[in-house]
Amino acid sequence: MSDMQISGLSKVFGGLRATDDVSFHIAPGTVHSIIGPNGAGKTTLLNLMTGIYEPTAGEVTLGGQSLLGKPFHARVAMGLGRTFQTPQICHGMSAIENVMLGSHLGLDGRLLPSMLRLPGIVRGDEACREAAAGWMRYVGLERYLDAEPGAMPYGALKRLEIARALAGKPRLILLDEPAAGLGATEKAELSRLICRLRDEGVTAVLVEHDMKLVMSVSQHVVVLNYGKKLAEGTPDEVSRNPDVIAAYLGRTH
Amino acid sequence: MSDIDKAIGMPRGLSTAGGPRLRLAGQGGVLLLAAILLLLPWLLRSGFQYHMAVMIGIHAVIAIGLNLLVGYAGQISLGHAGFMAIGAYGTAILSSRFGWPPLLGVVVSAAAAGLLAFAVGRPILRLKGYYLAMATLGLGMIIYLLISNEVWLTGGPDGLSLPMLSLFGQDVDSPKVWYGIVAVLLLVAYWMAGNLVNSPLGRALRSLEGPEALSAAAGVDVSASKVRIFTVSAVVTAFMGGIGALYAGFISPKSADFMQSIELVLMVILGGMGSIPGAVAGAAIVTLLPQVLTAVEHYEPLIYGLILILVMVLMPKGLVPTLAHRLRRSRS
């Protein structure tokens, strides 16, 4: 039984096979990392998972249901959460409102009741505000509740995005380079946060360059090179794989 | 909390400001507006001043509706005078040619404008920025041309007269009664817009201002949401177009032309994008300024333009948000 299944996935841009027959599965409650040198096809793979690209061939399923042909927002409704390499934050809203945005799917979105602020809307809104405050505490942003995103440091914005994704109660969360641009202390914080998510049974997929982070938080690592899957296994197995060392770690080891 | 956060520190006054205060501010705005609208009649001396107040009220409701689209959802429209004209001409044609009750004419015309917005919204709102501006401009121009040229239906350049509005068997011919009607409409619009932007649906709509990936990652159906808010703003605009036509008693194609669309957008930008009191302030300024400037006759367009440039240079976020920000800063 797997949460996400990727089978024979390929994406061709003109003559370039950006993703080439990649297959793996993601078991529920685990942290998977996708690594590979620059241009290995990590971002393309992520965009295929979220529906920004449609694959040339292959299949992606979440909880047994096919995701193909569904736009990104519909995949989110099916339980896919995502954060971005550069935090995508709405600057017209306060920090907590950004997190509340993440949970709007489960709430009453009818126009007229919203305009009349009917009791059902108020209840949903207050519950969602409380939950959002909870998620902000969870990621360590409790002091930023009503802050303007423009006044928050970069690392806090990255965690704000994680809080927004979590507020949607995803069954699987994709983290696109969460450590990029963070300082050493923030990276340590992030690593604790991801471990905590893992221990609480959240399924996460991590696309990351920071090998220390990848090796310390993931149960399973998939290595891509030139769009193909080069290797997969536990962090230990992968880091001992000679192909991986040659392709990815070779120069530094 | 990481050391980096501690080192940078929190801007003062942000972390303690609770959500409840923000929500109260929304209701406080409605109360303040109600107080102003109740007290204003003591200041209004002449029929002309009442007339200006009514015009400001009508424009303010349209600006509030347009602000939902332009200010909150970040989608420009340079064709909203077209929707205003659909409301105005629809009401005029249905009431004077077909003998419908005027208010029913207003409601049906607003619904028709909503249907049109819904139908053209999907292809048009795929466009962004300048391209969306062009497409909505085109939409407004088509409506203007239809109104100017279909003389058999619209009277062409001669315009159309409307019957007098009657409520509860009484003709509404006094500016004071019109003031009351428009004041109630403005209060309702202000309250409903405030409720909307602070609801879960409202946050989904406000996210459209940012990159599409952000909205989609939160599960927002971007194109459907854009069409939705475009339709809402079209319905509000057409409804007030119909009310305005009934108030004026006469309409001509001039009310549908490009400059009218520009003025509507101007109200939103000048008053403050994404600010409901801003929309009201913007409507007041854009409506009053030409009247004030009649004192300088020949130089009117020159000074009008200059004021707009100055406000935008000095207050790029618009009047109300800039002043509110300065007030908050001087307090802390």
Tell me: pLDDT of B9 over 70: no
Say which of A103, A114, A165 has its CB closest to residue B199: A114
Cβ contacts of B203 on chain A, cutoff 8 Å: 93, 97, 100-101, 104
Percent of residues, chain B, with pLDDT higher than 90: 65
pLDDT band at A3 (very low <50, low <70, confident <90, very high): confident
Tell me how far apart the alpha carbons of residues B40 and B30 are, in angstroms, rounded to a whole number: 15
Cβ contacts of B211 on chain A, cutoff 8 Å: 88
pTM: 0.89
- Whether A86 contacts chain B with CB within 8 A: no
Tell me: pLDDT of A123 over 60: yes
Amino acid at B70: V
Share the mean pLDDT of chain B: 88
Q: What is the mean pLDDT of residues B258-274?
A: 92
- Whether A53 contacts chain B with CB within 8 A: no
Biggest distance spanned by C-alpha atoms of chain B? 74
Position A250 scores a pLDDT of 59
Tens-digit pLDDT profile for residues A59-93:
999 999 999 999 999 999 999 999 999 999 999 89
- Whether A108 contacts chain B with CB within 8 A: yes
Helix ranges (H only) for chain B are 3-8, 19-43, 47-67, 80-92, 102-124, 129-149, 151-154, 175-197, 200-206, 212-217, 222-248, 258-271, 276-292, 300-314, 319-331
Cβ contacts of A105 on chain B, cutoff 8 Å: 218-219
pLDDT band at B22 (very low <50, low <70, confident <90, very high): very low
Q: How far is CA A135 from the centre of its chain?
A: 16
Position A253 scores a pLDDT of 44
- Whether A196 contacts chain B with CB within 8 A: no
Cβ contacts of B19 on chain A, cutoff 8 Å: 96, 129, 145-146
Tell me how far apart the alpha carbons of residues A30 and B74 are, in angstroms, rounded to a whole number: 39
Tell me: pLDDT of A157 over 90: yes
Say which of B2, B195, B218 has its CB closest to residue A104: B218
pLDDT band at B292 (very low <50, low <70, confident <90, very high): confident
Tell me: pLDDT of A208 over 80: yes
Helix (H, G, I), strand (E, B) or coil at A209: coil
Asked if A73's CB is within 8 angstroms of B195's CB, the reply is no
Cβ contacts of B274 on chain A, cutoff 8 Å: 92
User: Does A13 or B166 have the greater pLDDT score?
Assistant: A13
Percent of residues, chain A, with pLDDT higher than 70: 97
- Whether A129 contacts chain B with CB within 8 A: yes
Say which of B1, B202, B214 has its CB closest to residue A140: B1
Q: What is the mean pLDDT of residues B297-310?
A: 85
Cβ-based contacts under 8 A for chains A and B: 148
pLDDT band at B174 (very low <50, low <70, confident <90, very high): confident
* CA distance to partner chain A, nearest, from residue B99 (Å): 30
Cβ contacts of A125 on chain B, cutoff 8 Å: 198-200
Tell me: pLDDT of A141 over 90: yes
- Whether A237 contacts chain B with CB within 8 A: no
Contact in structure between B321 and B275 (CB atoms under 8 Å): yes
Say which of B5, B199, B216 has its CB closest to residue A72: B216
Cβ contacts of A77 on chain B, cutoff 8 Å: 219
- Would you state the structure tokens that stand for residue B33, as one six-digit string? 């507006």
Position B23 scores a pLDDT of 46
User: Does B274 or B17 have the greater pLDDT score?
Assistant: B274
Position A251 scores a pLDDT of 54
Tell me how far apart the alpha carbons of residues B197 and B139 are, in angstroms, rounded to a whole number: 27
Position B7 scores a pLDDT of 33
Q: What is the mean pLDDT of residues A7-25?
A: 92
- Determine the residue of chain A that is closest to B205 in CA distance: A101
Position B61 scores a pLDDT of 98
* CA distance to partner chain B, nearest, from residue A243 (Å): 35
pLDDT band at B5 (very low <50, low <70, confident <90, very high): very low
User: Does B14 or A122 have the greater pLDDT score?
Assistant: A122
Rounded-to-10 torsion of CA A225, A229, A234, A240 = -50
Question: Which residues partner with B161 through β-bridges?
Answer: B250
Asked if A104's CB is within 8 angstroms of B220's CB, the reply is yes
Tens-digit pLDDT profile for residues B68-106:
999 999 999 999 999 999 999 999 999 998 999 999 999
Spatial CB neighbours of B115, under 8 Å, sequence gap ≥ 6? none
Helix ranges (H only) for chain A are 42-50, 72-77, 95-101, 111-116, 119-138, 154-167, 184-199, 211-217, 235-240, 242-244
Tell me how far apart the alpha carbons of residues B90 and A22 are, in angstroms, rounded to a whole number: 59
Position B91 scores a pLDDT of 96
Cβ contacts of A84 on chain B, cutoff 8 Å: 213-214, 217
Cβ contacts of A91 on chain B, cutoff 8 Å: 210
Tens-digit pLDDT profile for residues B199-257:
999 999 999 998 899 999 999 999 999 999 999 999 999 999 999 999 999 999 988 88
- Determine the residue of chain A that is closest to B22 in CA distance: A146
